[in-house]
A and B are shown apart, each in its own frame.
Chain A
Amino acid sequence: MPADIAAFPGPAPVAASPRRRHGAQIPGWVSWSLAGPSVVLLVLLMLLPIAAIILLSFTDYRFGALEVSFVGFDNYADLNTDRAFWRALGNTFTYVAMVVPASVFLGLLLAVLINGLTRGRKIYQLIFFLPVTATLVAMATVWKYLLHGTIGPFNLLLKSWGLPAIDFFSDPDLVLGGLALINIWSLAGFNMVLFIAGLTAIPEELYDAASVDGMESPLDRFFSVTLPLLGPTTMFVIITSTITAFKVFDTVAVITRGGPRRGASDVLLYTTYLEGFTYFRMGSAAAMTVVFLAIIMIFAFLQARVLDRKVHY
């Protein structure tokens, strides 16, 4: 990364050959004066901090400490044997594995049903998108009360139907499920909109062709026309949802704080946050951040691959 910065050309000298565009002579410095403020911010807020986080991950720096020394890969080696870190990573993936299939499936179901309606599409879209716009922290406090083990309306309703109460946030085995429920609720409408965009892009003639081929039932046409053509959209929605779910933080910070019992709902970002900003062990927090970045980069790479093959957005 530092090498990139060094190779970054500064404002081109005025002597450099002016570029032609539609006959106009635009000297390089004009472009650079337009892009300049962004370039400075890009370096200060993005490139240098990323270089710094990688460097930090090889040190034993503690916030406020007077000396720092390089410890090589020690932080990474420590993470490798740190059960709390692996638990957080495992929890994060478990959480992703719950949120992604449910929110993608629900988004697709909503999109297909709403798209097939002759009236009322607007209002349904509005309703299902509402949770996306709601402030998640505020809704997290609502969900915390809603799913409360004894006084939560959800459990009161279950009891009035003669069903046993489910205490999501006090049960270490259920807490991730409870958090996942909130994310599914807040993400399904988002995915629905992406799927509706994908559906609208499917040419009507294909459905006519399917009818001619004798595919009359909506289910037939769904599996033979809609689903295959939604393939790229679906891949894209899956990856986008994965990234969103992977970055879970707010609900954990507000509702469970990693509990109940040590670490039942610790997730990667929350653990990293505690390590860096509560315990101030910067070196080890930096190493966790690098792991986080690496995983995000893999997702982003897949996302770019999918986008490359997709034309209709």
Chain B
Amino acid sequence: MSKTRQAGAGMRYTLGQFASHAFLLALAFIFMFPFYVMLVTSFRAPQELFTPEFNWLPQTFTGAHYYIESLTATPVLTFMKNGVVISLGILLVQLLTAIPCAYALAKFEFRGRELLFAIVIFALTVPIQVPALPLFLGLNAIGALDTYFAAMMPFFLSVFAIFLFRQSFKSYPDEIIHAARLDGMSEWAILWTIVVPGSVPAIAAFSVFSLTSHWNDLYWPMIVIRSNELMTPPLGLAYFADSESGENYGALMATATILTAPLMLAFLFAQRQFIRGITMTGVK
């Protein structure tokens, strides 16, 4: 991509590049500012927060103080464990249910296929807030509120995964599948040992999308989780931000840092997969 290079030689080119960089750097500074405030506040003494001017660096560096306070005084590690259990549990069931369904939709002709696919497309547009009330009543009826199961259940089926994997499986060559079939492999074995390995990028992208959206979800846990021991990171933080530590910004920012860190670090290590995974909803 060398559009700018063609725009004109010499001065104008460098000037344009320079202006772009200057502008982007200024915007980048603004975009990073909240992260900076989060970090710097987690390292400074409380009395500094009430000074009349903003100091860019802590006058008294508190080190790991607020991080230790956050980890010991609040169940942050429990929140994170719950986040891991719930988002991985959801992802596992989503993959186990969506992959076979997507395979059937992509590679077989059967009665009701069109209808099934039409319903999948329709369901793609329905956010969790729509079935939330009846699902809550159903969970209440079976006495399952305030459990891991309640936190995961609405997401066991991802129509988005079905849609995405169907696209990916469709492009898998029929000839190979057919050859495996002639060798006497079962459809189940063909799917998991031949077709699925060919779709690893799509599955990875979806996994990133699913894990981030459920790690970050506040809405559904807020409805079904009551006990502290089962709270997810967003719910735990919202609860914690609200209760005793309302004014303890150091600890609050340390907690926010701890809870955001896993996804941010994962993003830094796997940028491509993250950008692909997260923007996939926009490109479907």
Q: Is there a chain B Cβ closer than 8 Å to A276's Cβ?
A: yes
Known: A110-B24, A139-B256. A34 touches B103 (CB 8 A): yes
Query: What residue of chain A has the Cβ atom nearest to residue B38's Cβ?
Result: A142
Q: Is there a chain B Cβ closer than 8 Å to A136's Cβ?
A: yes
Q: Is there a chain A Cβ closer than 8 Å to B74's Cβ?
A: no
Q: How far is the CA of A239 from the CA of B27 in the complex (A)?
A: 25
Task: Kindly identify, within residues 173 to 198 of chain B, every residue whose CB is under 8 Å from any CB belonging to chain A.
Answer: 174-175, 177-178, 181-182, 187, 191
Q: How far is the CA of A136 from the CA of B110 in the complex (A)?
A: 43
Q: Is there a chain B Cβ closer than 8 Å to A28's Cβ?
A: yes
Task: Kindly identify, within residues 19 to 39 of chain B, every residue whose CB is under 8 Å from any CB belonging to chain A.
Answer: 20-21, 23-24, 27-28, 31-35, 37-38
- A137 and B264 form a contact (CB under 8 A): no
- A24 and B178 form a contact (CB under 8 A): yes
What does the 1/0 interface line of A116-155 toward B look like (CB < 8 Å)? 1110100011111111111111110111111000010100
Interface of A, helix, strand, loop or mixed by DSSP = helix
What does the 1/0 interface line of A260-302 toward B look like (CB < 8 Å)? 0000000001001100110000100110010011001100100
- A50 and B131 form a contact (CB under 8 A): yes
Which residue of B116, B238, B281 contacts A39 across the interface (Cβ within 8 Å)?
Answer: B116
Known: A138-B260, A282-B133. A193 touches B116 (CB 8 A): no
- A293 and B130 form a contact (CB under 8 A): yes
Known: A134-B264, A137-B237, A285-B133. A207 touches B3 (CB 8 A): yes
- A12 and B111 form a contact (CB under 8 A): yes
Residues of chain B within 8 A of A285, CB atoms compared:
133
Residues of chain A within 8 A of B218, CB atoms compared:
136-137, 249-250, 253-254
- B279 and A194 form a contact (CB under 8 A): yes
Q: Is there a chain A Cβ closer than 8 Å to B204's Cβ?
A: no
Residues of chain A within 8 A of B156, CB atoms compared:
41, 45
Q: Is there a chain B Cβ closer than 8 Å to A174's Cβ?
A: no
Q: Is there a chain A Cβ closer than 8 Å to B66's Cβ?
A: no
CB distance from B115 to the nearest CB of A (A): 7
- A35 and B101 form a contact (CB under 8 A): yes
Q: Is there a chain B Cβ closer than 8 Å to A97's Cβ?
A: no
Q: How far is the CA of A273 from the CA of B115 in the complex (A)?
A: 32
Task: Kindly identify, within residues 80 to 119 of chain A, every residue whose CB is under 8 Å from any CB belonging to chain B.
Answer: 110, 113-118
What does the 1/0 interface line of B272-284 toward A look like (CB < 8 Å)? 0011001101110
- B234 and A45 form a contact (CB under 8 A): no
What does the 1/0 interface line of B78-120 toward A look like (CB < 8 Å)? 0000000000000000001110110111011111110110011
Residues of chain B within 8 A of A69, CB atoms compared:
none
- A296 and B126 form a contact (CB under 8 A): yes
Q: Is there a chain A Cβ closer than 8 Å to B252's Cβ?
A: yes
Residues of chain A within 8 A of B178, CB atoms compared:
21-24
Known: A118-B2, A127-B32. A296 touches B127 (CB 8 A): yes
Residues of chain B within 8 A of A35, CB atoms compared:
100-101, 104-105, 116
Which residue of B21, B110, B129, B138 contacts A272 across the interface (Cβ within 8 Å)?
Answer: B129
Q: Is there a chain B Cβ closer than 8 Å to A227's Cβ?
A: no
The interface size of chain B toward A, counting residues with CB under 8 Å, comes to 111
- B282 and A137 form a contact (CB under 8 A): no
Residues of chain B within 8 A of A16, CB atoms compared:
111
Which residue of B97, B113, B253 contacts A38 across the interface (Cβ within 8 Å)?
Answer: B97
Known: A138-B260, A194-B283, A289-B133. A21 touches B174 (CB 8 A): yes
Residues of chain B within 8 A of A156, CB atoms compared:
51-54
Task: Kindly identify, within residues 248 to 284 of chain B, every residue whose CB is under 8 Å from any CB belonging to chain A.
Answer: 249, 252-253, 255-257, 259-260, 263-264, 267-268, 271, 274-275, 278-279, 281-283
Q: Is there a chain B Cβ closer than 8 Å to A42's Cβ?
A: yes
Query: What residue of chain B has the Cβ atom nearest to residue A160's Cβ?
Result: B53
Residues of chain A within 8 A of B223, CB atoms compared:
273, 277
Q: Is there a chain A Cβ closer than 8 Å to B241's Cβ?
A: yes
Known: A9-B112, A116-B20, A134-B260. A4 touches B131 (CB 8 A): no
Q: Is there a chain A Cβ closer than 8 Å to B11's Cβ?
A: no
Q: How far is the CA of A277 from the CA of B268 in the complex (A)?
A: 38
Residues of chain B within 8 A of A235, CB atoms compared:
none
Pairs of residues from A and B, 3 with the lowest C-beta to C-beta distance, nearest first: A49-B131, A300-B125, A38-B101
Measured CB to CB, the residues of B under 8 A from A are 1-8, 16-17, 20-21, 23-24, 27-28, 31-35, 37-38, 41, 49-54, 96-98, 100-101, 103-105, 107-113, 115-116, 119-120, 123-127, 129-138, 153-154, 156-157, 159, 162, 174-175, 177-178, 181-182, 187, 191, 212, 215-216, 218-219, 222-223, 233-235, 237-238, 241, 249, 252-253, 255-257, 259-260, 263-264, 267-268, 271, 274-275, 278-279, 281-283
Q: A21-B107, A145-B253 given. 16 additional CB < 8 A pairs?
A: A7-B115, A53-B133, A113-B23, A116-B4, A120-B21, A127-B31, A129-B271, A137-B234, A138-B237, A193-B282, A197-B279, A207-B6, A217-B7, A282-B137, A296-B125, A296-B126
23 pairs of residues in contact across A and B, judged by CB atoms under 8 Å: A9-B111, A12-B112, A24-B182, A31-B108, A38-B162, A39-B101, A42-B120, A48-B134, A49-B134, A49-B135, A52-B137, A53-B134, A118-B4, A133-B212, A135-B260, A137-B235, A141-B256, A146-B34, A216-B8, A253-B238, A273-B219, A293-B130, A300-B124
